Amino acid sequence: MRRLPLPLALGLVALLLGAALLAPWIAPHDPAATDLARRLLPPSAAHWLGTDHLGRDLLSRLLWGARASFGAVAAILALVLALGCAVGMLAGMLGGVVDAVLMRLCDAFMTVPTLVLALFMIGALGTGLGNVVVAIALSHWAWYARLVRGLTLSLRQRDHILAARVAGLSRLAILRRHVLPALAGQLAVLASLDLGHWMLHLAGLSFLGLGVAPPAPEWGIMINDARPFFRSAPMLVLLPGAAILLTVLAFNLLGDALRDRLDPALREHAH
Amino acid sequence: MTGFALRRLLSLPPLLLAVSFGFFAMLRLGRGDPALDYLRLAQIPPTDAALALARAELGLDRPLLAQYGAWLADALRLDLGTSWFTRRPVTAEIAEFLPATLQLAGTAMLVTLAFGIPLGLWAALRRDRWPDHATRLIAFLGVSVPNFWLAFLLVLLFAVTLGWLPAMGRDGPASLVLPALATATMSACVMLRLVRASVLGALGEPHLRFAAARGLPRRTLVGRHVALNAMLPPLTAMGLHLGELIGGAMVVETVFGWPGLGRWALQAIANRDYPVLQGFVMVLTTVFVLGNLLVDLAYAWLDPRIRLERAA
């Protein structure tokens, strides 16, 4: 697995992303169209992967499921980076009381196991894919805030930042023009290593029935939905899970390849 | 050492106090009117009079801090309130469901160590030969597989097809095997990678190269100088693994009908049962924090640098 080239990882992610984006056009059937006369069919020319317990085309549902997963993971990524950068840069740039308070806040968030925190948040916010995304993002941002703060602190002492301050640039402008671009590379590597992790949490919470409501095509809930038919039609459980596995593999390959390429010093990133 | 342990222990109450208030505020300010949820679960029609009564009964008409103070005073006496749904004390329900979850997460931790450490050591000592390649492939798959899906695969193979192990329930040690494997796989694979990297790092240390140059046999080198030193980084990671295992257990429990906190919490989420939600997150946070304390103490005991550095 070592030194699997970046293009391969990118290709796999692009393939899955393509399936997600093009699902409405390439899916052979309507993912929600039920047909009880054609339920639990084995694979055939009309239904390449067969049909589920309500006669819906499994391949179409898997393709549409990729949309939900990629959309949700992208939203988690955006939220975690936005929150982590905002809090981390603020703490690192302002220092003093602001820094102390924000870092204690991070400590508090890191005191709770991430999935337990996410479950609690869903309890407080309510179920639904949007709330699951918010809950996962809120349970993971603190690590990024910590990291960004540390990097900001070390950048703040650099000559070009001091020069910018002397030249009268506002702190906000310095953060935007000089600090953020300098952080981007490392954040990209870290985030790509975490994409698979978030995807797994998303799938788990969705499997528990906390995400999208059952008729919608989403991999986690598809598995939950197919449980009663597990012994007679195991493929209904196995294929959506294989789709999750493949997506997480693609994300992890991408993360490892990016790390090897951009930042060989960054080692096994815990959690 | 006692001083270090005491300092670490004393740092916990303020932290737990802060997160408990955070949880409390999040529930109360999250959304909607708790009184409505309360009446719904008690199956009382939400008339204005009933709502007013419920608000007074739950203390919702008082300021948030006063409400929290009342909760805290009760919690310190180990009273976490009464479930709005089952009408039973939350502590009684925790006492009923927590042992099963702890048993599963604890067994998964043992599995993590029992697989991760020897395989990681083996991979490092056979670097770039087949054991290294094989374990790398397994670890890569293992950190990418959804635990609940792996649980279904294990059931399909070991329960449905082979009939060796039970597919459901909590009935004797045999029923623990599949849930523990499904819960532990991800952590075991992360542990494997960490141990491998750590052992390789230790093998490259100058004193080791000197010992090798002196002609010490490899077995002595690894046994005396590498094995223990290289275990320190994986040991610190155990704290984080504990959090992952507790969370993972919640999900895997539902596949096996394991009677732990997972199902209880899901019910509380669906019902918006505030006392149960607060109790659930508090008890698991406490378990996590205490587990991390144990790891820290073990670490300080094994590595004097830590306890001396923090004392200074």
Q: For residue B83, tell me if it sits in a domain.
A: no
pLDDT per residue as tens digits for the range A1-48: 455 678 888 888 888 888 888 878 877 777 777 777 777 777 777 777
pLDDT averaged over chain A?
84
Question: Do A124 and B237 lie within an 8 Å CB cutoff?
Answer: no
pTM: 0.88
Contacts of A260 in chain B (CB under 8 A): none
**Chain B environment of A231 (Cβ under 8 Å):** 160
Q: Is residue B101 part of a domain?
A: yes
Please check whether residues B153 and B229 belong to one and the same domain: yes
Q: Give residue-wise pLDDT tens across range A210-251.
A: 988 877 888 988 888 888 888 888 888 888 999 999 999 999
Alpha carbons B189 and B234: distance in angstroms, whole number? 12
Tell me if A115 and B280 make a contact (CB, 8 A cut-off): no
| Residue B60 counted as domain residue | yes
Asked if residue B206 and residue B174 are part of one domain, the reply reads yes
Task: Name the pLDDT band for B170 (thresholds 50, 70, 90).
Answer: confident
pLDDT at A1: 44
* Average pLDDT score over residue span A250-264: 80
| B252 and B159 within one domain | yes
Query: Is B86 inside any structural domain?
Result: no
Domain hosting B115: range is: 91-307
A52 or A130: whose pLDDT is higher?
A: A130
Tell me: pLDDT of A54 over 80. Answer: no
For A115-126, write each residue's pLDDT tens digit: 999 999 998 888
- The region of weakest confidence among A53-62, A82-91, A185-194, B136-145 is A53-62
- Measure B310 CA to nearest chain A CA, in Å: 18
pLDDT on residue A74: 93
Average pLDDT over residues A176-195: 84
Sign (positive or negative) of CA dihedral B288, B289, B292, B293: negative
Are A244 and B148 an interchain contact pair (Cβ–Cβ within 8 Å)? no
In B, minimum Cα distance to A270 occurs at B237
Residues B102 and B166 in one domain: yes
Q: B residues 129-168 near A, CB within 8 Å? A: 136-137, 140-141, 143-149, 152-153, 155-156, 160
B143, with CB counted inside 10 A (0-12, 13-18, 19+), is buried
CATH of the domain at B174: 1.10.3720.10
Look at A57-71, B19-33, B137-151, B295-309 and tell me which has the smallest mean pLDDT. B295-309
For A76-83, what is the mean pLDDT?
Answer: 95
A6-23+51-270 is a CATH 3.30.420.40 domain: no
A234 → closest Cβ in B145, B156, B194:
B156
pLDDT tens per residue, range B231-277: 888 888 888 889 889 999 999 999 998 999 988 999 899 888 889 99
- Cβ count within 10 A of residue B182: 28
pLDDT number for residue A269: 42
Cβ-defined contacts of A16-23 (< 8 Å, 24+) = A16/A66, A16/A70, A16/A246, A16/A247, A16/A250, A17/A70, A19/A63, A19/A66, A20/A63, A20/A66, A20/A67, A20/A69, A20/A70, A20/A71, A21/A67, A23/A60, A23/A63, A23/A64, A23/A66, A23/A67
State whether B55 and B96 are in the same domain: no
- As a whole number of angstroms, the distance between CA A13 and CA A185 comes to 19
Say if residue B110 is in the same domain as residue B160. yes
Residue B178 has a pLDDT of 92
CA angle, A213 then A218 then A220, to 5°: 90
Q: CA–CA separation, A259 vs A253, rounded Å?
A: 10
Count CA within 13 A, CB hemisphere, residue A22.
8
Do residues B95 and B62 both lie within one domain?
no
Angle between helices B90-125 and B130-142 (to 10 degrees): 150
Number of structural domains in chain B: 2
Query: Looking at the domain assignment, is residue B19 inside a domain?
Result: no
Q: How far is CA B19 from CA B12, B26, B66, B285, in A?
A: 11, 10, 17, 9
Please indicate, yes or no, if residue B140 is contained in any of the structural domains. Answer: yes
Per CB-CB distance under 8 Å, the chain A contacts of B158 are: none
Assess whether B114 and B249 both reside in one domain: yes
Q: Compare A267 and A96 and report the one with higher pLDDT.
A: A96
What pLDDT, on a 0 to 100 scale, did the predictor assign at position A263?
Answer: 62
Average pLDDT (A252-264) is: 79
Predicted ipTM of the assembly: 0.88
User: Where does the pLDDT of residue B106 fall: very low under 50, low under 70, confident under 90, or very high at 90 and above?
Assistant: very high
Q: How far is A70 from chain B (nearest CA, A)?
A: 16
Using pLDDT thresholds of 50, 70 and 90, give the confidence band for residue B109. very high
Clarify whether residues B60 and B153 are in a common domain: no
Give percent of chain A above pLDDT 70: 94
Which among B48, B77, B106 is the end of a domain?
A: B77
For residue A51, name the pLDDT band (cuts at 50, 70, 90).
confident
Q: Which residues of A touch B289 (CB under 8 A)?
A: 111
Question: Who has greater pLDDT, B59 or A47?
Answer: B59
Q: What is the mean pLDDT of chain B?
A: 86
From A47-56, A195-204, B238-247, the region with the lowest mean pLDDT: A47-56
CB contact under 8 A, A114 and B193: no
Q: Quickly state the pLDDT bin for B309 (edges 50, 70, 90).
A: low
**pLDDT tier at A265, thresholds 50, 70, 90:** low
For residue A49, what is the enclosing H or E element?
none
Q: What are the residues whose beta carbons fall under 8 Å from the beta carbon of A157, sequence distance 6 or more?
A: none
In whole angstroms, what is the distance from residue A122 CA to residue B263 CA? 15
Taking the Cβ of residue A196 and every Cβ of chain B, the question of whether any pair is shorter than 8 Å is answered with yes
Contact across the interface for B251 and A208, Cβ inside 8 Å: yes
- Whether residue B31 and residue A270 make contact (CB cut-off 8 A), yes or no, is no
Summarize chain A as % helix, strand, coil (round to 5).
75, 0, 25
Average pLDDT over residues B1-30: 85
Among B235, B126, B256, B238, which residue's Cα sits nearest to residue B179?
A: B256
What CA–CA distance (Å, rounded) separates A66 from A31? 12
Q: Taking a C-beta distance cutoff of 8 angstroms, is the pair B39, B51 a contact?
A: yes
pLDDT of residue B310: 54
Give a yes or no: residue B229 inside a domain: yes
Is the model more confident about B283 or about A172?
B283
What pLDDT was estimated at residue A264?
54
CB atoms within 10 A of CB A25: 7
